[in-house]
Structure 1
């Protein structure tokens, strides 16, 4: 497998990761992280690159990571292990340059922004000294030994985990300086929609709606509708953000973006959580209203005001899709509301973030019925565990 092909596959399947690249087209660093974190970096929050070397094995295992101080306490961190010789050589080449370019990819794998990245010369030497001879570093598959070593790296850089028998490995953190930003104006052509997406668009809710339709486009094709309409006393109003139809299920989606661009930079995590919870509560109310319109056989139109013809199914899938489901604070009120509206309205209700939703769509493998069943199982798991922050492991048979 060629290097570019391998990286592309990893980019499409990894929820978050870092790639160090040095090829015939030049040197660069690629990062895949959620859009709200990219926006925080663009606003100027500090970023650190993390490196660790585990000398417990005959061939030392080298780990890398990125820490983003989008919150002073609960900052975002991604980590991984370099397992290919080209990665070791690329990192060494980048640390011998005065600067390189970094490409930021969102949850969809789309490059949304680039910037010029530089480090201090002293920090570059620190990384090169830690790395040593690239030919003596581990290359191979990700097995139990590598997994345990990565746990040790996480432990060494103060990431909380429940793993036992971890040990400290040598590690360093260096701050990166970003300048000369370029924002990409991406156009995605689908079956029903042509969506223009820019990460710095101040209408963050509209961008998230478009991203949802991009994700679902190949699954539902001509039966996917952005901003469907219903009639009111004078004119029309929006039924929901996204409406998707399959033979065995109807999907109503309300997207709620975590506002970053115009938000106060030093907002506390408590205020962020309350803001997300308020949006989710509003989204649930909107979905209940939309589901009742479906049940009452209200005529629904696409955004061109052409009537959408469909067969009503027994249960509706209602989804509040957020850009980030923050794992902090007390969520009991939201959880109780979810139970209540599901019982009273006979709907399936999921509150899910964009990254996990993409995993479900990916595991559906082109089948809307499979997505339908997996979302039902997710609701059942939520009812059983009574926890909005659970994540299901989808296993292939």
Structure 2
């Protein structure tokens, strides 16, 4: 069954890092649940991680707020909650319709808002009866502009799912029930310059690289290179996973972006790993990638020749009509001499990682290399690129602000928020 998102959901998929929403398909008006989740979480769901459908009613200042979402047990010690509050009477009524049915269709999108998973989901309506009985009646739901009220309600819900949660009288009703997935289907999307994106791809590392490259290729046309090569001892080897540079500079001191990616595998076997083992593995990979970035930046600043994966020099443009006058010539050594950005792109910003130790290494390597170094996951990168509005100089500004936030508390666990 084909799902065509409404204009509201299309916008949310673009601007939100993650979320769960209800939508009436534009082609059939059937009620769908739509989610935007990190690719590693989607892979965990596909590998068999338990998913619970949550629904809640919270009373704040005499107003009832309805909310719903997913809890994904991809990490047994720290399950992840994706949820939001209803903003209108119509959304409350859609939630009421969902909770009274026995099944509904679900479509899941990744960080770059590509659809990657479809499933028919079964629930037991009787389990949600306490929530249904207290859903706000027509006209009682908070107005769209009452954002503060919704935020306070969501804080109550977030606190209620913590292991040591204290009962809160404001939480009037709640329900967490398992989702039974039936007729799941992996959806395939072909992206020019990136290739096929689907859950059937077993090379998760290359997939993360390609999705990261997609973001930089959009931001830096004719200046983004996947798996560029450098000459070393008469041979050519991979310099980094992604190299990107603006070809239309707004400022003279614009530098380059050097990216090394590290993925955390999401398989049925990996779901059973302890929290400590998972965090230790991620931290080890991050520190390894920081060292690789340091080496790549040194080669760039030394003026070593850089080649595309097909062996052609990155400083020789493809034969595209009128390209020569549209973009400035590419001088990698000159651009590498500016203050650039080294990025470790990861699939999981796991909270169990010692992010202070990671920050110390990023600051140390960055100081030696003359670059600002960061750790981002794909949804953070996509969010920053999206808000850069096609301007690499704006991405540099956002990354610089993010780096400043990292060095103040000396923790590399930083999340960007853009207020609308």
Cα distance, 1:126–1:381 mapped onto 2, change above 3 Å: closer
Alpha-carbon contact 1:200-1:261 (below 8 Å) kept: no
TM-score (norm 1): 0.90
Q: Contact 1:315/1:348 (CA < 8 Å) preserved in 2?
A: yes
Distance 2:125 2:53 in 1: 14
Secondary structure (helix, strand or coil) at the match of 1:60 reads strand
The CA RMSD over aligned residues, in Å, is 2.5
Q: Distance in 2 between matches of 1:201 and 1:156?
A: 37
Alignment partners' CA distance in 2, 1:97 and 1:184? 25
SS across alignment from 2:312: coil
Asked whether the equivalents of residues 56 and 131 of structure 2 are also in contact (C-alpha less than 8 Å), the reply is no
Alignment length (residue pairs): 389
Instruction: State the partner residue of 2:274.
Output: 268
**Mean CA deviation greater in 105-114 or 129-138:** 129-138
Identify the residue that residue 336 of structure 1 maps to in structure 2.
360
Q: Matches of 1:78 and 1:322 in 2, distance apart?
A: 20
Map Cα deviations across residues 278-322 of structure 1 (whole Å, 9 max, x no partner): 111111111111111111211111122111123223223111111
Using structure 2 for the length normalisation, give the TM-score.
0.85
Give the match's secondary structure for 1:272.
helix
Taking the aligned partners of 1:389 and 1:149, their CA distance within structure 2 comes to 25
Inter-partner Cα distance in structure 1 for 2:243 and 2:37: 27
Matched with 2:323 is none
1:50-101 superposed Cα distances (whole Å, 9 cap, x missing partner): 1111345565221112111112221101221011233222223333433211
| Aligned equivalents of 1:56, 1:332: Cα separation in 2 | 37
Aligned to 2:155: 151
Q: Deviations over 1:257-292 (max 9, x none)?
A: 111136422101111111111111111111111111
Partner of 2:319: none
Structure 1 Cα separation of the partners of residues 233 and 239 of structure 2: 14
2:55 is equivalent to residue 51 of structure 1? yes
Aligned to 1:179: 182
Task: Provide the residue aligned with 1:12 in structure 2.
Answer: 14
Match of 2:241 in 1: 241
Aligned position for 2:43: 39
Query: 1: distance between equivalents of 2:414 and 2:169?
Result: 25
In the other structure, the counterpart of 1:284 is 290
Deviation at 1:159, TM superposition (A): 8.0
Looking at structure 1, the residues matched to 57 and 268 of structure 2 have their Cα atoms a distance apart, in angstroms, of 39
C-alpha displacement at 1:188, in angstroms?
Answer: 1.1
Shift, 1:360, TM fit:
1.6
Q: Structure 1 residues 353-362 or 102-111, which shifts more?
A: 353-362
2:406 to 382, 389, 393: 382
**Closer, same or farther: CA 160–80 of 1 in aligned 2, 3 Å:** farther
Worse-superposed segment, 339-348 or 207-216: 339-348
* CA separation of 1:202 and 1:369: change in aligned 2, threshold 3 A: same
Does structure 1 retain, via aligned residues, the 8 Å contact 2:57–2:171?
no
Change (3 A) 1:57 1:394: closer
Do residues 103 (structure 1) and 107 (structure 2) align?
Answer: yes
Which structure has more relative contact order (CA 8 Å, sep 6+)? It is 2
2:69 to 50, 65, 68: 65
Output aligned runs, 1:117-196, within 5 Å.
117-131=121-135, 133=137, 136-158=140-162, 167-189=170-192, 193-196=193-196
1:194-226 residue CA offsets vs partner (Å, 9 max, x unmatched)? 421113422111111111122222210111111
SS in 1 for 2:111: coil
- Long gaps (5+) in structure 2: 316-329
State how far apart, in whole Å, the 1-side matches of 2:260 and 2:139 are: 51
Q: Structure 1 pair 142/42, CA: closer, same or farther in 2 (3 Å)?
A: farther
1:228 aligns with 2:252: no
Looking at structure 1, the residues matched to 407 and 160 of structure 2 have their Cα atoms a distance apart, in angstroms, of 36
Deviation at 1:115, TM superposition (A): 1.0
Shift of 1:13: 1.0
CA pair 231-76 structure 1, distance change in 2 beyond 3 A: same
Structure 1: 5+ residue runs without aligned partners?
A: none
CA distance in 2, matches of 1:362, 1:73: 32
**Secondary structure of the equivalent of 2:220?**
helix
Deviation at 1:139, TM superposition (A): 4.5
